Chains A and B, each alone.
Chain A
Amino acid sequence: MNLWLQIADTAGAVLLLLGAAICLLGVIGMIRLPDVLSRSHAATKPQTLGIILVLAGVALRLRGGMELATLVLIAFFQMLTSPVASHLVARSAYRTGQIEHGELLFDELDEQLTDGE
């Protein structure tokens, strides 16, 4: 029994480290990628995966029913809200002309927007 607790503790620590590393990766991506839209890839996606791994690690170390449910709730809201935030950033960046259209290979949204007017 004690052995299992030790295994859970170690696995939790590994998951915590892994999640933190993935979040760090997102930050590095934000520095290295060129423009707003590419950076929003790096800023939002690894965070979600990283946070889920950190929460899994915390769950393995806490091992309580209510705590587990709260952690699931945090993961759920993270997955629900971060796409909305990144969509708003991308949309406002696009609409206020913060992106260089010459850098894009092609742009199907631009055609649609100009058609609509």
Chain B
Amino acid sequence: MRRILRFSFRNADLPPLSCEFGTRRRRVLDLPLIAWLTVIWVLLWSTLTWANVLTGVVVSAVVCLAFPLPRVDLGLRLHLWGIVCLACYLFHDMYTSGVKVTRQIFFGLPHRAAVIGVPLRCRSDLMLAATAVAVSNVPGGSIIEVRRATATVFLHVLDADRPEELEAARRKVWRMEELTVRAFGTPDEIARVAEPPPPPQLAAGRPAP
């Protein structure tokens, strides 16, 4: 007789931290995802009771079965100190460049904007997405396009007629990438961002403004 529920630590065929469910059509459930959905469910009810937790588990299992996600290896690692650094930098950057954008809105001369491409050092999808989200959370650059094949993000910079501002925008993206990878990346990716950023090939041959 086959078991209805099998966990990954008993069965090496399954991906880590998951369980297999069902008798004939077997479905694989991702346990961290269910835990996360349960946490959200409990927070939405805003009282921690056993009934809430149990219904949360049931609802999130039903959601995972009804809307199955493709099985991907995210390569997500959580580094606590890196997350703290990233949060502090994000908040500091939000404040300082918020002040800058404010000054531009009220007293700024009409600046010419530009679209710049910044090549990143990490190629993984998760790091690309996380860096893009982090960059567009701070004022000063908004992401227009992310090119996955070359791992390049394209951002719109408000005051592009000053070359030092452009350089600062590029450096900011690379700094953000380094912090993001240090917070969520695998050791391999952390080693890659420890190297200096690639030379700006895209900016080469740019006429001086």
Contacts and interface: CB of A to CB of B under 8 A. Distances in A.
Given A103-B112, A104-B113, A107-B115, A41 B47 contact: no
A37 B156 contact: yes
Interface in B71-111: 91, 94-95, 97-98, 101-102, 105-106, 110
Interface string B161-188: 1000000000000000000000000000
Nearest to A37: B156
Contacts of A79: 133, 137
Given A46-B101, A105-B114, A108-B115, A70 B43 contact: yes
B156 A73 contact: no
Given A28-B105, A66-B46, A83-B137, A108 B116 contact: yes
A92 to B, nearest CB: 10
Interface residues of A, number: 43
**Interface class of chain B by DSSP:** mixed
B101 A105 contact: no
Given A83-B136, A87-B136, A90-B143, A49 B43 contact: no
B47, B154, B158, B161 — which one has the most chain A CB atoms within 10 A of its CB? Answer: B154
Contacts of B140: 41, 45
A80 interface: yes
Nearest to A34: B110
A42 B144 contact: no
Contact of A109 (B48, B94, B105, B144): B144
Chain B interface size, under 10 / 10 to 19 / 20 to 34 / 35 or more: 35 or more
Nearest to B141: A41
**Interface class of chain A by DSSP:** helix
Contact of A41 (B40, B95, B156): B156
A59 B139 CA distance: 25
Contact of B206 (A44, A87, A106, A110): A106
Contact of A108 (B43, B98, B154, B158): B154
A66 B43 CA distance: 7
Given A80-B133, A87-B144, A104-B112, 16 more contacts: A25-B105, A28-B105, A29-B102, A34-B110, A35-B113, A37-B142, A37-B144, A38-B158, A42-B101, A46-B98, A73-B43, A87-B142, A106-B115, A108-B116, A108-B202, A112-B147
Going nearest first, the 5 A-B pairs with the smallest beta carbon separation are A45-B139, A83-B136, A108-B117, A105-B114, A105-B112
Interface of B: 40, 43-44, 46-48, 91, 94-95, 97-98, 101-102, 105-106, 110, 112-117, 132-133, 136-140, 142-147, 152, 154, 156, 158, 160-161, 202-203, 206-207, 209
